[in-house]
Structure 1
Amino acid sequence: MSMVGEFRQFIARGNVLDLAVAVVIGAAFGKIVTALVDGIIMPVVGLAMGGVDFSQLYVALDGNEYASLAAAQEAAAPVVTYGAFIQTIVDFLLVAFVIFLVVRAYNRLQKQEDEAPKPPAEDILLLREIRDQLKAR
């Protein structure tokens, strides 16, 4: 089989399409979570911590003090933006928690399907029918 034929067979399996859809949805979901964290959660956390804006937290490595992160970046100072790192950690934790909830719900549904009683085998049904006929006599 040629390489092109193998590639067609690989694409036609369906798993590749499912994976592509999952990646696109995951990327969109990541944007939603980022907007949630940046626009809602971190401002509330910052307000609770005395009005701290986490996106503006930084350390200038050149030893100078700057009025803001933008001023330090404009001066081309090397900075460690640990506030952005904190926001990224919160993003990750939220995404991981939501994925955990989805997988947990899926596993519970699968478990319920597995635990559903199976209909009795034909020989059992036949034996029950014979029993019921013998009782009727």
Structure 2
Amino acid sequence: MLKEFKAFAMRGNIVDLAIGVIIGGAFNKIVSSLVNDMVMPLIGLVLGGVNLSALSFTIGDASIKYGMFLQTIVDFLIVAFSVFCIVKVLNKLKKQEEQQNTAPVVTKQEALLTEIRDLLKHRQVEQ
């Protein structure tokens, strides 16, 4: 059972997934800091010095923090746009690599015609 678990855990997909989760967590902290410390204060400044994360209203004992919700939406949009850009670049690189690796396929007929052409050129040079 231990050997099977080790084989499962050491597969490339599992290791790649673990690395992705770790990098994603770090990226989330960066984006959250960008939104909380830079974007939202600028938006609040444009709106007349309003701290959007503090916007809320109270219904009974419940406090509805719609400012935090707006901040989370901005956070999501930045992450989604960043991931979109990364995927777009990776797809472009993958497409270029596939085009470079695709060698033209020569049929038997083309190979024979090329050989005949080369023989005719060789005959003309000898004469």
Q: The TM-score by the shorter chain falls in which range?
A: 0.7 to 0.9
Q: How many residues align?
A: 121
Q: Deviations over 1:73-127 (max 9, x none)?
A: xxxx421111111101111111011000000111111111222251555965675
Pairing partner for 2:92 from 102, 108, 131: 108
Pairing partner for 1:118 from 103, 113, 124: 103
Q: Deviations over 1:3-35 (max 9, x none)?
A: 323211101212111111110000000000000
Q: 2: CA distance between counterparts of 1:111 and 1:47?
A: 43
**Structure 1 match to 2:65:** 81
Instruction: Give aligned-pair identity as a percent.
Output: 49
**Structure 1 match to 2:118:** 132
Task: Say which SS state the counterpart of residue 103 (structure 2) adopts.
Answer: coil
Task: Say which SS state the counterpart of residue 79 (structure 1) adopts.
Answer: strand
Q: Relative contact order (C-alpha < 8 Å, sep 6+): which is higher?
A: 1
Task: Say which SS state the counterpart of residue 60 (structure 1) adopts.
Answer: strand
Task: Say which SS state the counterpart of residue 102 (structure 1) adopts.
Answer: helix
List runs of 5+ in structure 2 lacking aligned partners: none
Relative to its length, the structure with more helix (as a share) is: 2
Q: 1: CA distance between counterparts of 2:113 and 2:90?
A: 38
Q: 2: CA distance between counterparts of 1:46 and 1:20?
A: 37
List runs of 5+ in structure 1 lacking aligned partners: 63-76
- Normalising by structure 1, we get a TM-score of 0.78
Q: 2: CA distance between counterparts of 1:21 and 1:51?
A: 40
Cα distance 1:127–1:11, how it changes in 2: closer, same or farther (>3 A)? farther
Cα drift, residue 133 of structure 1: 2.9
**Structure 1 match to 2:22:** 24
- CA RMSD in angstroms comes to 2.0
